A = this chain, B = another copy of it.
Amino acid sequence: MTHGPLPILDEAGVDRIHDASIRVLEELGIELWSEEARQLFADAGAIVEGEVVRVGRDIIDQALQTAPNSVTLTSRNAAKQIELGGNKIAFGLVAGPPAVHDEINGRRQSNMDDYENFIRLAHYFNAIHIIGNQVAAPMELPANNRHLDTYRANLTLSDLSFHCTAIGRGRARDGIEMMAISRGISVDELAESPGVITVINVNSPRRFDEEMANGLMEMSSLGQVVSVTPFTLMGAMTPVTLAAGLTQQNAEALFGITLTQLVKPGAPVVYGSFTSNVDMRSGAPAFGTPEHAKANIASGQLARRYGLPYRSSNSSASNVVDAQAAYETQMSLWGSVLGGTNLIYHAAGWMEGGLQASYEKLVLDVEMLQHMMEFLTPIDLSDEALAFDAMERVPTGGHFFGDPHTLERYETAFYAPMLSDWQNHGAWTESGAENATQRATKIWQTALSDYTEPALDDDRREALDDYVARRKEEIGGGEP
């Protein structure tokens, strides 16, 4: 990749956001609903008053010294290792929606069938590298143990790394145990070679609740990857200005990142950003806005200032897979790439500001991600590529279709999209005049029918089943 990130702030601007966020941490502090976590901060010298923790810059600096600047995630398929760091980029499947949509069956509450379909599609398309959390939540299953069913689907229907839910220690621990089983190693061994990631959001402004703190501590203590990602809609959860939104995001992210290092120095941690804005006329959340794109870039500059891997998001508020869905997603995608992101979360399938997982949007997003991957491939400037000989052979006003230089390369010369239709209007009309959304339906249908389940050792499959059965019994009617 020959591209660098594109700065949107100068160095003094980055320092200004940093300094303002340190002031927030030192003077206002963060509310932290976990006694255990507060004790870790107190032991490090932070000022704890009630549930509010005020953290000095020295404690932050110390944490940033032990946080690694690159993280490798290993799934049960070692060939699919993902490096989060440097100029590497990975794309994650949508996470969290309670509703699902496709053009055939319409919008509905998502269920386990949908969940499994999304995992199959993520496995099928090479552009998706990590499975999100509760991709299309199986709402018909009990809330306290459905994570077990989703983890099992992740590990049997795909061979990708995945997000484990860190709402409480139990859900995190289950994901860690099951990834270890699928790899045939112990949880201790997994700590040396992380296999799962979680995202810790913040109850912005400036509050970490107990479940999130516990999930973070469980993941970090076991050496798994934590992305601390304040979800900060400017005008609602932060002040209405981009400078302040970035400042508050940065303060909250640094706070969580510091906690990971207090739990276990050297624990893998990712700087997460999800700063967009609300519609100030209605209060509705908006995504893929110009402000969101700018926040994605500036956040990458902050992450690099701290030498941390950087996570951003693809997103759209559109209710339908249309031009708006495409341009909003493009805005967040380009902001992410120009921000030097290492992980684009929700990269495929996110609609309705995260309330809907869409089959057609997944196809559209994979297409746009593949465009981006091709865009990021460096230009070949070899003598063969410069092709003076071909230009010499083809007469002025002629064409290159039949030239040997073309014939040797034409099959792979250009990226061949799966969704774009480049026929002329007549041919397109004769072939049914389908728009991109209609074509996307056929593509996910074909993908599901062509999908092959990746092989998994019988013993490990059985061990996963046993684990799920045992844990469901243990959890019973309680929370994990």
Contacts and interface: CB of A to CB of B under 8 A. Distances in A.
A368 to B, nearest CB: 5
Interface string A1-43: 0111011111001001100100110011011000000000000
Nearest to A14: B381
B286 A422 contact: yes
Contacts of A334: 330, 334
Interface in A146-199: none
A292 to B, nearest CB: 10
A348 to B, nearest CB: 14
Interface stretch (A86-94, A110-118, A119-127, A390-398): A390-398
Contact of A419 (B284, B324, B411): B324
Nearest to A243: B385
Given A243-B382, A414-B291, A236 B323 contact: no
A199 to B, nearest CB: 19
A385 B245 CA distance: 9
A206 B391 CA distance: 9
A234 B414 contact: yes
A225 interface: no
Interface stretch (A135-143, A264-272, A313-321, A462-470): A313-321
B323 A436 contact: yes
A101 to B, nearest CB: 9
Contact of A240 (B237, B388, B409): B409
B422 A239 contact: no
Given A239-B400, A239-B403, A406-B240, A8 B280 contact: no
Given A9-B379, A326-B327, A381-B13, A239 B405 contact: yes
Contacts of A330: 326-327, 330-331, 334
Determine the interface band of chain A, counting residues with CB < 8 A from chain B: 35 or more
Nearest to A328: B420
B244 A390 contact: yes
Contacts of A318: 420-421, 436
Interface string A295-322: 0001000000000000000000111111
A341 to B, nearest CB: 15
A52 interface: yes
A81 interface: no
Contacts of A238: 391, 400
Nearest to A208: B396
B320 A379 contact: no
Nearest to A20: B386
Contacts of A20: 386, 388
B283 A401 contact: yes
A224 interface: no
Given A237-B400, A280-B411, A323-B322, A205 B386 contact: no
A397 B319 contact: no
24 contacts: A3-B6, A3-B7, A31-B397, A203-B397, A205-B391, A205-B394, A205-B396, A235-B401, A240-B406, A241-B380, A241-B384, A241-B405, A242-B379, A280-B413, A280-B414, A282-B423, A286-B420, A289-B417, A318-B421, A322-B436, A323-B436, A327-B367, A355-B425, A356-B425
- Pairs A-B, 8 closest by C-beta atoms: A326-B326, A290-B374, A244-B387, A31-B396, A239-B387, A330-B330, A322-B435, A243-B385
Given A20-B386, A236-B400, 16 more contacts: A9-B381, A20-B388, A203-B397, A238-B400, A240-B405, A240-B406, A241-B385, A243-B380, A247-B391, A248-B391, A279-B416, A285-B422, A318-B436, A322-B436, A324-B436, A327-B368
